Amino acid sequence: MVKILIVDDEEINRIMLREMLKEVGYNDFIEADNGLQAIEQASTHHPDIVLLDVIMPGMSGIDAAPQIKATSPDCHLPILFITSLDDEQSLVRCLESGGDDFISKPFEKIILHAKLKAHERTRNLSLEIIDKNRSLTYFQLEVERNHRIVEHIFDNAIGQNAEAAAYFDFYTQPEAQFNGDLFLCEKSPAGGVYLFIGDFTGHGLASAIGAIPVAQLFSVMSHRGLAVGEMATRLNRLLVSLLPADIFCVANIVEIYPNGKNFTLWGGGLPRVAVKTPDQQIRLLIDSQHMPLGILEDYEFENDTQNFEIESGDTVLFYTDGLMESQHAEYGMLGEEGVEKWFTQRASVNAQLLVDKAELYRAGAAAEDDITIVLFQSQPFNFNVPVHTITPVPFDLSFHLTVTHIKDSQLIEQIVSIVHSIQGLAAIRSEFFTVITELVNNSIEHGILGLSSSLKDEPDGFIKYYQLRQQKLESLEQGDIWLTLRRIMPENVLEISLEDSGPGFAPDSLTEDDNVPHGRGFVLIKELCQSLHIDDHGKCITVRMSLQPALTDASASNKVE
């Protein structure tokens, strides 16, 4: 109900107005016969509309109007002056004092009613705005509270291993309040370091929502010493099940060995990794080879890794695309080449310097994406690593894998879990996973399914190859793989023998040519094992691995039989 304050020093005018308003439906009135009383009534009863006489004894309506307006600071209070004045100067003074309209004497009921309805609508709109502002304020406070809670959870759930992180120069800059980029750093059981550099689609809380489960799983896997490829498989499986289809994570998953020189990298969509020498020359540029995490199902996902070695004093640069996407009004996007040019300009390049140069390049404009930069200068890690005692008792493990097992996408993970339940073998889990993955996949793809790696030579060869692999695997009806693992004493080595029921393959098809996109898996096996022997026309392969953590500064010799 609309409450109307009628202010007039003549009672007859107040009565006339009251009766006229009752006839058109208004029934809630407050009255005052002078300006001071009007101010008091407005302060006490908070009217919706004020009918205010201009000329009154004591305080006039023009003098009272500003103070009546002040009693409703948050909401518009319409004041309609009651006047018989018609000179322009007087009417202007009424409006300047806070008036919104005029009602001329003598009163016209139709005009009076129309003007009241118009100002009633204005008053209601103002009240509605106030109500919505209150709701928005409450919502904003609630959002800020929730953000503080989420930020607290993020700060506690996503942290760096301080001892490991001290070896790296890194910078993370969110474009929004929550960071869609993620940098994780954990020590490995062998005395090296695992890194995760990731960039979720988009910005803010929606893009950062996958960070907590990724950080938790990455920490668990790091402490267990999983191989980089194994980590990639499990993280991809997690994100496929967790994230909506339009959110995924481009990432680098890295293991740096204790000597600080040898790296294993799984790259899924981030800018290429750059390595420079102490004299500021590019030594290596390593492109990402895979689709991002959270897109492909297990049977489509590729977890093969790249291994590279740097020299003492070399510096490695990892970064997310927020840095290379810095835009200049004239020169356009910075790009990978621009980042690498900055990287090699001086010896003292650090993460903050690259961020500052990007800001200058953007001419002060805000970054369009989150930025993460990680720099590592080659040096051995000096962690206090517990000594792993290998069980002195020799052992033999035999696996007979049939079609059902061969079709299982988690076959290799199951084998690794069984083997590393043996006390002391966790220290070589990463190397063992890599070797067993290469051996089993080679046996399945080339021995059982009869695939030729030459198919990968075509421009879309990798896609065709894995589509054909999946088709053949689904229709496979027979096939066997025999896998034997034996600990040999006193040499303290693990001998792995694998034989399949297929026709075998030609060992001379293997290549060490980096320009050929296939056939290099055995090169990696040779790097990780003491020996590699292929016989029976490629049907049987035997390797020997040291049961000690790999790749300190003293490198083991390899031979091929």
CA 79 to CA 60: how far, in whole Å? 14
CA 423 to CA 419: how far, in whole Å? 9
Secondary-structure percent of the chain, ordered helix, strand, coil, rounded to 5: 40, 20, 40
Question: Tell me, what's the pLDDT at 185?
Answer: 92
Of 111, 130, 149, the domain-final residue: 130
Co-location of 211 and 359 in the same domain? yes
CA 68 to CA 111: how far, in whole Å? 24
Co-location of 189 and 326 in the same domain? yes
Do you find a cis peptide bond into 106, omega within 30 degrees of 0? yes
Cβ–Cβ under 8 Å, residues 178 and 207: yes
Of 333, 348, 377, the domain-final residue: 377
CA 212 to CA 218: how far, in whole Å? 10
Co-location of 315 and 239 in the same domain? yes
pLDDT in tens, the chain (561 residues): 889 999 999 999 999 999 999 988 899 999 999 999 999 999 999 999 999 998 888 898 899 999 999 999 888 999 998 888 777 787 888 888 888 988 888 888 888 899 999 999 999 999 999 899 989 989 888 877 876 776 666 666 666 678 888 999 999 876 555 667 889 999 988 889 999 999 988 666 666 677 888 988 999 999 888 889 989 999 999 999 988 888 899 999 999 999 999 999 999 999 999 999 999 999 999 999 899 999 999 888 988 888 888 999 999 999 998 899 888 888 889 999 999 999 999 888 999 999 999 999 988 788 777 889 999 999 999 988 766 555 567 888 999 999 999 888 788 888 888 887 776 676 677 788 888 888 888 888 888 888 887 776 776 766 777 788 888 888 988 999 999 999 888 878 889 999 998 887 666 555 555 444 445 567 778 878 888 888 867 788 999 988 765 444 444 333 333
Q: Is residue 326 part of a domain?
A: yes
Question: How many domains, the chain?
Answer: 3
The token pair that represents 303 in the structure block:
């977890």
**Helical axes 11-23 vs 109-157, angle rounded to 10°:** 70
Q: Tell me the residue type at 202.
A: G
Which runs of E-coded beta strand occur in 201-314? 249-256, 262-268, 273-276, 282-286, 306-309
- CATH number, position 276: 3.60.40.10
Which runs of E-coded beta strand occur in 426-524? 481-488, 493-500
Instruction: From residue 363, give the alpha-carbon distance in Å to each of 244, 328, 355.
Output: 36, 7, 13
Q: Is residue 386 part of a domain?
A: no
Q: Tell me the residue type at 79.
A: I
Nearest in space to 198 (alpha carbons), one of 248, 155, 131, 250? 250
Q: Is residue 187 part of a domain?
A: yes
- CATH number, position 547: 3.30.565.10
Q: Is residue 141 part of a domain?
A: no
Domain encompassing residue 85: 3-130
CA 323 to CA 371: how far, in whole Å? 6
Mode of pairing for the β-strands spanning 282-286 and 273-276: antiparallel
- CATH number, position 7: 3.40.50.2300
Co-location of 512 and 466 in the same domain? yes
Do you find a cis peptide bond into 57, omega within 30 degrees of 0? no
Co-location of 401 and 372 in the same domain? no
Cβ–Cβ under 8 Å, residues 243 and 210: yes
Q: Is residue 285 part of a domain?
A: yes
Cβ–Cβ under 8 Å, residues 529 and 494: no
Of 109, 130, 151, the domain-final residue: 130
Q: Is 443 helix (H, G, I), strand (E, B) or coil?
A: helix
Q: Is residue 73 part of a domain?
A: yes
Mode of pairing for the β-strands spanning 169-173 and 101-104: unpaired
Q: Is residue 150 part of a domain?
A: no
Instruction: From residue 48, give the alpha-carbon distance in Å to each of 11, 30, 77, 275, 369.
Output: 21, 11, 6, 73, 50
Nearest in space to 270 (alpha carbons), one of 297, 244, 290, 299? 290
The token pair that represents 281 in the structure block:
């020359």
Q: What are phi and psi of 94, to 5 degrees?
A: -60, -45
Co-location of 292 and 409 in the same domain? no
Co-location of 164 and 207 in the same domain? yes
Co-location of 88 and 183 in the same domain? no
Cβ–Cβ under 8 Å, residues 401 and 476: no
Q: Tell me the residue type at 171.
A: Y
Which runs of E-coded beta strand occur in 277-407? 282-286, 306-309, 315-319, 327-328, 332-333, 371-377, 396-401
Co-location of 476 and 371 in the same domain? no
The CB density around residue 333, as the number of other CB atoms within 10 Å, is 12
Nearest in space to 485 (alpha carbons), one of 399, 358, 555? 399
Co-location of 311 and 240 in the same domain? yes
Q: Helices H, strands E: what count in the chain?
A: 17, 23
Cβ–Cβ under 8 Å, residues 244 and 295: no
Q: Rounded to the nearest 5 degrees, what angle is found at the Cα of 37, between the Cα atoms of 32 and 42? A: 85
The token pair that represents 319 in the structure block:
């970064």
Co-location of 435 and 522 in the same domain? yes
